[in-house]
């Protein structure tokens, strides 16, 4: 099994500063890891339904996730206070609206980053299956285990060559950017993200 990913240490700081920074650092680290895992797991689905890849979503969630939590708290507080303290409910309504505006502005700011997102063709079943097979094999450590390692990599190489051949055969004049296998096998060039489904 691969070693567990832990938050960065705070060596070199005073004990008081280390204790004060440990909780927010762990909170931010957890959000980044969960966002990264969700992004990696959803890449083929998002590409299939929305024809887009958004690597900027992981850092963007560092702001969006806590703000969404505060918005939910504000809305729930407003519902609780609406029947007997309308003024307090109105305050929480304005607070929720303000935080939703912050989410909107921060999302636009992250989207303005270079290569924050790009459009891709819809993935075919073979490309999606290959992606998830590699993702699961690497994340669980099975692909890197010594037992049958040569056969695993030989099969993986054959599958990638097959994918590239199918993708090359499906290419047309209007090429779209490619982001094959996300962080596992990063390829940023001109081509297709996955072999496209044949048009009916």
Q: Where are the domains of the chain?
A: 15-111, 122-191
pLDDT tens per residue, range 171-198: 543 444 444 444 444 433 344 444 444 4
How buried is residue 43: exposed, middle or buried, by Cβ count under 10 Å (0-12/13-18/19+)?
A: buried
Residue 1 predicted with pLDDT over 80: no
Q: What is the mean pLDDT of residues 160-174?
A: 65
pTM across the whole model: 0.64
pLDDT, tens digit, for every residue of 118-133? 888 888 888 888 888 8
**What pLDDT score was predicted for residue 127?**
82
> DSSP readout, 100-137?
HHHHHHHHHHHHTSTTS-EE-PPPPHHHHHHHHHHHHH
């Amino acid at each position: 099994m691969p070693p567990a990913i832990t938050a960065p240490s705070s060596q070199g700081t005073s004990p008081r500063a280390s204790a004060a920074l440990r909780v927010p650092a762990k909170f931010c680290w957890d959000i980044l890891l969960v966002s990264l895992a969700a992004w990696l797991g959803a890449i083929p689905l998002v590409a299939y339904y929305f024809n887009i890849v958004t690597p900027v979503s992981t850092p963007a969630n560092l702001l969006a996730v806590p703000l969404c939590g505060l918005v939910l708290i504000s809305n729930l507080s407003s519902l609780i206070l609406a029947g007997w303290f309308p003024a307090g409910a109105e305050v929480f309504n304005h607070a929720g609206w303000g935080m939703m505006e912050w989410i909107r502005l921060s999302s636009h700011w992250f989207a303005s980053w270079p290569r924050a997102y790009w459009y891709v063709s819809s993935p075919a079943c073979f490309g999606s299956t290959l992606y998830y097979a590699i993702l699961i094999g690497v994340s669980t450590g099975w692909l890197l285990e010594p037992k049958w390692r040569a056969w695993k990599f030989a099969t993986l190489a054959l599958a990638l060559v097959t994918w590239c051949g199918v993708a090359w055969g499906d290419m047309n004049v209007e090429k779209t950017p490619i982001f094959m296998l996300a962080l596992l096998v990063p390829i940023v060039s001109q081509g297709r993200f996955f072999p496209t489904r044949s048009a009916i």
